[in-house]
Structures are given as C-alpha cells and as structure tokens.
Amino acid sequence: MTQSPWLKSLRTPGVALALTLSAGAVQAEDPIKVGILHSLSGTMAISETTLKDTMLMLVEEQNRNGGLLGRQLQPVVVDPASDWPLFAERTRQLLEQDQVDVIFGVWTSVARKSVLPVVEELNGILFYPVQYEGEESSRNIFYTGAAPNQQAIPAVEYLMNEYGIERWVLAGTDYVYPRTTNRILEAFLKAHGVADEDIMINYTPFGHSDWQSIVADIRRFGSQGKPTAVVSTINGDANVPFYRELGNQGISAEDIPVIAFSVGEEELSGMDTRPLVGHLAAWNYFMSVDTPENAAFIDKWHDFIGDTRRVTNDPMEAHYIGFNMWVQAVEAAGTTDVDTVIDALKGVTVPNLTGGMAEMLVNHHITKPVLIGEIQEDGQFLVVWQTDDLIPGDAWSPHLPGSRDIIADWTPPISCGNFNTVTQTCSGQNY
C-alpha cells in the first residue's frame, strides 16, 4: 500500500476545493458550473463515488487545457446520499441555487425517475451514464449508458449463437431495471422460439444473501439435457454470495455460464474472483480493451486517483463520452445556454475508448459497440466477442408490445420522446 486509504479520500475533495478556489481567483469571467450528482454516502456510494471522481478528473483536465469558451469549469459536487427523494431535491438545488449549466450524475433508475420531472421543469441538462432498461426519452436527459438493445439483447444473441443455449434463467434483483429488461428478454426469447418451460424467471430482494435454494433450482433447471445459461440482472451487493454459492455448488462457467449486466471491473475489485472465472459480462467498454485512447484514459485515471490498482469501468467511459460531447456541443454553440446546447448535442460525435466514434442520436441515446467479456482471475475481462458495428440505442424496445410503435425523436417536426408512429401522435408524456 503506497498511501493510506484515508489520506486518499481526503485528497479528492481537496482537489475540488482547489479547483473552485483557483477558478474563482484567476478568471474574471464567471466560471461554467458543472453539477455532479452522485451518492457519496449510503448504499449506492459503492458505485457512484468513482463516477464523481471521474467527473472531477475530466473537469480538471479540461481546465488545464484552457477551459471552455475561454472560461474555467467549476465542479459543484452534491451528495444525494442514495436517497431517491433527495436526488430530486439536490437537482433542484443544483439548478436553482447553484445555477449549474449541466449535470452529470445519477445511477439507479428509480433516482433517474425522481430527477426527471425536476430537470424538465427547470430546463436543465442531465447526462446519465449507466446502462438502463430503456422505455424513456426526455428532452433534458442524455443517455450515455446502454439501452437494452445495446447490452441485453446482443448478450442473449451471443449465447444463442456461440453457446447454443436453449434454456434460460433470467435472474434479477426485484426492481425496475431487471423487471423491464427481463420483460424485453422474455419477449425476445419467445420470438426466437424458446418455449415457456425453457425460461425460468427469478427475482430476489435487494442484497439477498442466501442463494442456496435458488442456485440449487438453477442447477436442476440446467441439468435437463439442454444447454442452459443464466442471464443475471442481479444488482451489486447480492452478486458476491450468488457467485460464491455457484462456485460452492460446483457449477462452472462451462456447465452453466452466467452473463451479467451489472458486474464490471469495479464490482470485481471487491470480490474474491475465483468462483467467477469464466463467467461472462456484457458491456460497452472493458478496461482490458487495448486501444491508445483507453491506455491514455487509464493512465490519467491512475494519476488522478493516485492508486494504480484502481480500475476503470463502463459507466466511467459513459461519463467520458458524455462530457466530451457536451464540451463539443458548447464549443459549437458558443454558449452554455441550455436550449442551444440541447440542439447542438444532436449529431455530435466523439471517440469512445474502445475505438470508433459515439454519436448522439435524435432520441438522446448514443451509438455504442457491444462487448462480451469472460471474467479472468485478475478481475479483468477477456473480450470474447464484440459487434462489428456500433449499435444505435433504442429508447423504446421493439420487442415489447406496448412500445413497438413508439419512437423518440427530438428534432422537428416530431420533437417528442414518446411518439406513436401508427397514430402519429405524441403522447404528451415525454418518458
């Protein structure tokens, strides 16, 4: 250990403070304010703290390179403490009191749903960096994480084609993201001829720790002579006991592979990875991807955080893309005015870290490559498959009966996040 951990944690707020001070002192003109809305305490701190640090790093770097429009950027960090109503309150505070020009933040879908009406009412811009269930498109939110067609669907297709999987366990934590994703997946699987009895759907409470019976069920389900896989939307904390139980009951990735949508490098760094080796995850970015952009990003991150053992992950890349898109749009627009920037953001392309360009689409989602990785002992992923092309994100899933005819298009003449192409009407509700 090179630095005691608590020194490290003191360091980052210090940087923020220093930035704030220097920005105020040097620049005569008002700085551009960048709101950072990530939980630094409570249950979600485990995932969101890193994103706060990522944003501080990006802002710091931008300032070192001369700021934006000749002005310095000033990060405004607030802590919504993993409390959903508090997310809405903090958003209000950022937009009304602090008058930020843009917000980067939010992790869980429930927090996003509580922030959404506030950013719409106060006309802000929110960049949302996490993979999510789709079925939403707000004029004021830019979704830089994966929609289901950029993560879940390609993952299932991969297992079907490469593994010849015929039986599916859809296991998830009991909340909106797994439920919606599994609904989409179930419809997708059935459309591909998978019978009802070959799909097992299982939900567990948050932080579920006793997986014995469920894993035994999965084992039985998988020993009926057909190749079986588990598609896991199990959230954060429940994963460790889940994979441990799989390992203990002797289920290897070769027998029943588990493909996860919520297990990334960051989560793996807090687990004993041995029982996970060979299991899969689908993301749009892996730290192990060998590109010059990625190598540079990882170096920057290590320099900033002062610990070379820290990992990078998919939502960090999403913030990287989102921040660069916003910077580019502001530069193109020559102003930070929200309406002008929202218009300027459409069609913006910036490089992503795995090679290729991410483009902001008219439905406020972006194009992404999809990568499938196998977990290695060192907590990194070995990329075993990736899409040839970039996949444009679908705001509304074509696999669900309710949203099949709905599109989101924030350019005139439609300018609607929930537009029914059959009835040619905008539902008026933008999410």
Partner 1 sequence: MTVHCNAPPHGRGWHSTARRDSAPGPAGASAPDAVAAASTQPTGLRRSRAHAWFVAGFLLLLGGSLHAEPQILASQPPTTEPAMTTTGFTIVAQADPYASDFFDPSLLDAGAEARETETAEADDDLLDEAAYEALEEAAPDVDLLIQRLPEGNFNDRRAVAEELAATGDPRVPVVLGALLEGRLLATAEDPPRILIRAETGRAGRDALTGEPVDADLIASGRRIPVHNPLRNALRSLIAVSTLSAPDPERRATSLRRLMRDDVSPDLLEYLDDRVELEDDPRVMDLLLTVRALARLNVDDAQVRLESVELLRGSLLSEVRVRLEATANRDDDPEVRAAAREALDSIEARIRFFRFTENLFFGLSAGSVLLLAAIGLAITFGVMGVINMAHGELIMIGAYTTWFIQTLMPGALSTSILLAIPAAFVVAGLVGIAMERGVIQFLYGRPLETLLATFGISLILQQAVRTLFSPLNRPVQSPDWLSGTLQVNPVLALTWSRIYIFIFAIMVFVALLLVMKKTSLGLKVRAVAQNRPMARALGVRTGWVDALTFGLGAGIAGVAGVALSQLTNVGPNMGQAYIIDSFMVVVFGGVGNLWGTFVGALGLGMMTKFLEPHTGAVLAKILVLIFIILFIQRRPRGLFPKKGRAAEA
Q: Which residues bind partner 1 (CB under 8 A)?
A: 5-6, 9, 40-41, 43, 45-46, 49, 162-163, 174, 202-205, 207-210, 212-214, 216-217, 220, 223-225, 237, 240-241, 244-245, 247-250, 253-254, 257, 266-267, 269-275, 278, 280, 374, 382, 384
Q: How far is the CB of 259 from partner 1 (least distance, A)?
A: 11
Cβ distance to partner 1 smaller for residue 45 or 332? 45
Q: How far is the CB of 92 from partner 1 (least distance, A)?
A: 24
Cβ distance to partner 1 smaller for residue 146 or 268? 268
Note whether 39 and 80 are within 8 A (CB): yes
Cβ distance to partner 1 smaller for residue 385 or 410? 385
Q: How far is the CB of 389 from partner 1 (least distance, A)?
A: 17
The H or E element spanning position 328 is helix 314-333
Alpha helices (H) along 105-173? 109-121, 152-158
Produce one character per residue of 320-348: b if its CB has 16 or more CB atoms within 10 Å, e if not. Answer: bbbbbbbbbbbeebeebebeebbebbbeb
Using CA of residue 157, residue 160, residue 163, residue 166, what is the dihedral sign?
A: positive
Q: How far is the CB of 103 from partner 1 (least distance, A)?
A: 21
Cβ distance to partner 1 smaller for residue 181 or 239? 239
Number of Cα atoms under 13 Å in the Cβ half of residue 48: 25
- Please tell me the distance from the alpha carbon of residue 227 to that of residue 221, in angstroms, as a whole number: 10
Which has the closest alpha carbon to 330: 344, 348, 351? 344
Cβ distance to partner 1 smaller for residue 67 or 105? 105
Q: How far is the CB of 388 from partner 1 (least distance, A)?
A: 12
Q: How far is the CB of 144 from partner 1 (least distance, A)?
A: 22
Cβ distance to partner 1 smaller for residue 274 or 402? 274
Secondary structure (H, E, C), 107-122: CCHHHHHHHHHHHHHC
Estimate to the nearest angstrom the gap between the alpha carbon of 364 and the chain centroid.
Answer: 14
- Please tell me the distance from the alpha carbon of residue 240 to that of residue 276, in angstroms, as a whole number: 9
